[in-house]
Amino acid sequence: MDDSGRFVARHVATLPKSGIRDFFAIVSKMKDAVSLGIGEPDFVTPYHIREAAISCLEKGRTSYTDNRGTQQLRDEISRYVAQYYGPEYNPENEILVTIGVSEALDILLRAVLNPGDKVLYHEPCYVSYAPSVTLCHAVPLPIRTLSSDQFALDPAALRAAWQPGAKVLVLNFPTNPTGGTADRAKLQEIAKFAIEKDLLVVSDEIYSELTFDGDHVSIASLPGMRERTVFLHGFSKAFAMTGFRIGYACGPAAVIDGMLKVHQYGIMCASIISQEAAVEALRNGRDSMLHMRDKYRERRDFIVRRFNELGLPCHLPRGAFYAFPQVSGTGLDSMTFASKLLEQQKVAVVPGTAFGAAGAGFCRASFSTSYERIHEACERIGRFMDTLPKH
Amino acid sequence: MNSVLKLILEGESLDTAQIGKILGMGPEAVERELADLRRQGILLGWRPIINPSYEAERRVRAVIEIKIRPEGVGGFDGLAERISAFEQVESCYLMSGGYDLLVVVTADNLYKVAGFVHERLARIDGVQGTSTHFFLRAYKKDGFIVNDEGLRRDQPSVSP
């Protein structure tokens, strides 16, 4: 009998498992399932980027790098962020290359949180935010975002959710899973509040290139924000490089230095092969990225139109590659909807509750897949809807 | 570019009803667009893309470089059109460089290709010389990597 569970720390033992894992277990055993549950690009990494990784191996460049990342990559990140987001970061002490945004968020929280500190973040959100906070013995403070606001963070809701002891505000625009974005006016109000309450803002902008309507604005570019914002970004989504596991953090030197301590003891450095590929992505990847963005936009228009036709109200996400239809009108909660849909029609969508309580009544459907699959999935969802009693 | 044409060029196999749903138009409208594309000579036809290694067990394919003398009836165009008319000819292009026409032919076996070159091409007045190369193995065809195993094998079907 395995009773090794007694060795597991209390705060880990009580951490809920990701709702996505249960779903994955079922789908992976099912033949002929059409999955709209994939949270990564369906494109293969553009070949010139893969070729840079091959060339790195050919040249025998297989060593550790500087803990912060290679000089070349930090220089390119500095240039890229200044050009497309605004703020200028010093490659010497304000940029850290990480194993994706996931690591960046984890080490950032570990570097800044004391036990009992509180962290504000908007929900529905990426699955790791609340657990990462809990693992730091800190307290997650979710702020509900609403379909009626297109899942943008309402500054009034932020103010209402604030509590004494709140130290960090995590933002993620465009948002996984809702595709919510925040315009300049909203961000200005949020920034004002962050300054008033002396919050450190963590801005996860991993989907920023995949903004379909209007310009993406980074909160780090607003007056007074650079010194209290850590900008997190990576290559997975825009350049279809998920398996390379490469991202970065830009921020004020003292915070980056704190992160560097956690990073150097825990990780050492990101893979040099991925770093060289990342340099190529930043130098020459823009055309491929824009091409992929156009494809996502076309598929978005299709899937959102179909969901609305099928009687699943769905707002038009302005960024990322997820539709977030409301399924509560069917009389089913999101978990039941997703389970029955999978069981009866073999279509996988992710129940909204996997992204926090605020996701109740919704499901996430990725449109990062072919037209053929999206079309087939929608036909099957239509057949599934026909079996449900009308409400 | 016409939206129907743009979509079919992406290479997904979609029928007119599917194309209509994706583009938000009725299947009749899609049929009309396709008919227009044919009428304008833009869309010549539809072909499935078959793995060449499957084809290779049944057919041989060769590329023939042809030097021609353009004087005489019809010039380059006249000769190229005459050669294109043979059913063995899959494609035919006028080229710059060391030869004039590049012709791709398929046949049941090597001897049939040889026969085509000797008995048909070489006899055409105006054909000065040919150079025939057989296809051995395909690595990429019409945008598809032929040996594409391995790709995405480890991708989870649901991920955060």
Where residue A129 falls among pLDDT bands split at 50, 70, 90? Answer: very high
Using DSSP's 3-state secondary structure scheme, residue A368 falls into coil
B158 at interface of A, judged by CB pairs closer than 8 A = yes
Domain A47-285 adopts which CATH fold? Aspartate Aminotransferase; domain 2 (3.40.640)
Residue linked to tokens 């970004």: A233
DSSP B158: B
B157 closest CB neighbour out of A128, A348, A354: A348
Residue linked to tokens 């099928």: A310
Between A315 and A20, name the one with better pLDDT.
A315
Residues 75-134 of B with CB under 8 A from A: none
What pLDDT is recorded for position B70? 81
Where residue B73 falls among pLDDT bands split at 50, 70, 90? Answer: low
**Using N-to-C axis directions, what is the helix angle for A286-309 and B16-23, rounded to 10°?**
100
Say if residue A272's pLDDT is above 80.
yes
Pull the structure tokens for residue A331.
């009389």
B15 → chain A, closest CA residue:
A372
What pLDDT is recorded for position B105? 97
| Mean pLDDT, all residues of chain A | 96
DSSP B119: I
Where residue A29 falls among pLDDT bands split at 50, 70, 90? Answer: confident
Between CA A218 and CA B1 the distance in angstroms is 34
Chain A contacts of B26, Cβ < 8 Å? Answer: none
Pull the structure tokens for residue A156.
């009034």
- Maximum C-alpha span of chain B: 69
Please report which helix (H) or strand (E) contains residue A66, including its range. Answer: none
Contact yes or no for B159 and A27 at CB 8 A = no
Contact yes or no for B155 and A38 at CB 8 A = yes
ipTM value, please give it: 0.75
Residue A278, C-beta contacts closer than 8 angstroms, at least 6 positions apart: A73, A76, A97, A235, A241, A244, A246
Task: Looking at the complex, report in whole angstroms how far the Cα of residue B16 sits from the nearest Cα belonging to chain A.
Answer: 12
Task: Looking at the complex, report in whole angstroms how far the Cα of residue A298 sits from the nearest Cα belonging to chain B.
Answer: 9
Closest CA to A225 of A203, A243, A253: A203
User: DSSP letters along B2-48, please?
Assistant: -HHHHHHHT-----HHHHHHHHTS-HHHHHHHHHHHHHTTS------
Rg for chain A, CA atoms, rounded: 21
Where residue A391 falls among pLDDT bands split at 50, 70, 90? Answer: low
B157 at interface of A, judged by CB pairs closer than 8 A = yes
Say if residue A41's pLDDT is above 70.
yes
Pull the structure tokens for residue A66.
């500087």
What pLDDT is recorded for position B145? 86
Where residue B149 falls among pLDDT bands split at 50, 70, 90? Answer: low
What pLDDT is recorded for position B151? 57
DSSP B100: S
What pLDDT is recorded for position B154? 76
Tell me the CA end-to-end span of chain A in Å, nearest whole number. 50
What pLDDT is recorded for position B159? 87
A303 → chain B, closest CA residue:
B22
What pLDDT is recorded for position A17? 83
According to DSSP, the residues that pair with A121 across neighbouring strands are A142, A170
User: Beta strand A166-171 with A363-366: parallel, antiparallel or unpaired?
Assistant: unpaired
- Which sequence spans correspond to the domains of chain B? 3-39, 52-137
Mutate to test the interface with B, among A291, A292, A372 (most CBs of B within 10 A): A372
Chain A contacts of B139, Cβ < 8 Å? Answer: none
Of the candidate ranges B2-11, B74-83, B135-144, the one whose mean pLDDT is the lowest: B2-11
Q: What is the pTM assigned to this prediction?
A: 0.89
- Surface-to-core class of residue A75, CB atoms within 10 Å of its CB (0-12 exposed, 13-18 middle, 19+ buried): middle
| Mean pLDDT, all residues of chain B | 90
A20 closest CB neighbour out of B22, B24, B158: B158
What pLDDT is recorded for position B56? 80
Q: What is the pLDDT of residues A56-83, one digit of tens each?
A: 999 999 999 999 999 999 999 999 999 9
A375 closest CB neighbour out of B18, B152, B160: B18
Examine residue A252 and say whether the peptide bond preceding it is cis (omega within 30 degrees of 0).
Answer: no
CATH 3.40.640.10 domain range(s) in chain A: 47-285
Q: What is the pLDDT of residues B90-99, one digit of tens each?
A: 999 999 999 9
Mutate to test the interface with B, among A298, A300, A306, A350 (most CBs of B within 10 A): A298
Query: Class assignment of domain A4-45+287-386?
Result: alpha beta
What pLDDT is recorded for position B147? 80
What pLDDT is recorded for position B55? 83
Task: Looking at the complex, report in whole angstroms how far the Cα of residue A249 sits from the nearest Cα belonging to chain B.
Answer: 21
Say if residue B150's pLDDT is above 60.
no
- Chains A and B form CB pairs within 8 A to the count of 61
Between CA B46 and CA A344 the distance in angstroms is 35
Say if residue A279's pLDDT is above 90.
yes
Chain A contacts of B152, Cβ < 8 Å? Answer: 44
Say if residue B126's pLDDT is above 70.
yes
Using DSSP's 3-state secondary structure scheme, residue A256 falls into helix
Between A288 and A20, name the one with better pLDDT.
A288
Say if residue A125's pLDDT is above 90.
yes
Q: What is the pLDDT of residues A174-183, one digit of tens each?
A: 999 999 999 9
Contact present, A206 and A246 (Cβ < 8 Å) = no
Q: What is the pLDDT of residues A229-269, one digit of tens each?
A: 999 999 999 999 999 999 999 999 999 999 999 999 999 99
Chain B contacts of A37, Cβ < 8 Å? Answer: 157-159
User: DSSP letters along A263-320, please?
Assistant: HHHHT----HHHHHHHHHHHHH-HHHHHHHHHHHHHHHHHHHHHHHHTT------SBS
Say if residue B148's pLDDT is above 80.
no
Chain A contacts of B21, Cβ < 8 Å? Answer: 302, 306, 375, 378
Chain-centre distance for alpha carbon A215:
18
Does the domain spanning B52-137 belong to CATH 3.40.50.2300? no
CATH 3.90.1150.10 domain range(s) in chain A: 4-45+287-386
Between CA A125 and CA A142 the distance in angstroms is 9
B7 at interface of A, judged by CB pairs closer than 8 A = yes
What pLDDT is recorded for position A177? 97
Percent of chain A having pLDDT more than 90? 94
Between CA B70 and CA B100 the distance in angstroms is 10
As a whole number, mean pLDDT of residues B34-49 equals: 92
What pLDDT is recorded for position A16? 87
As a whole number, mean pLDDT of residues B17-30 equals: 92
Between CA A212 and CA A317 the distance in angstroms is 8
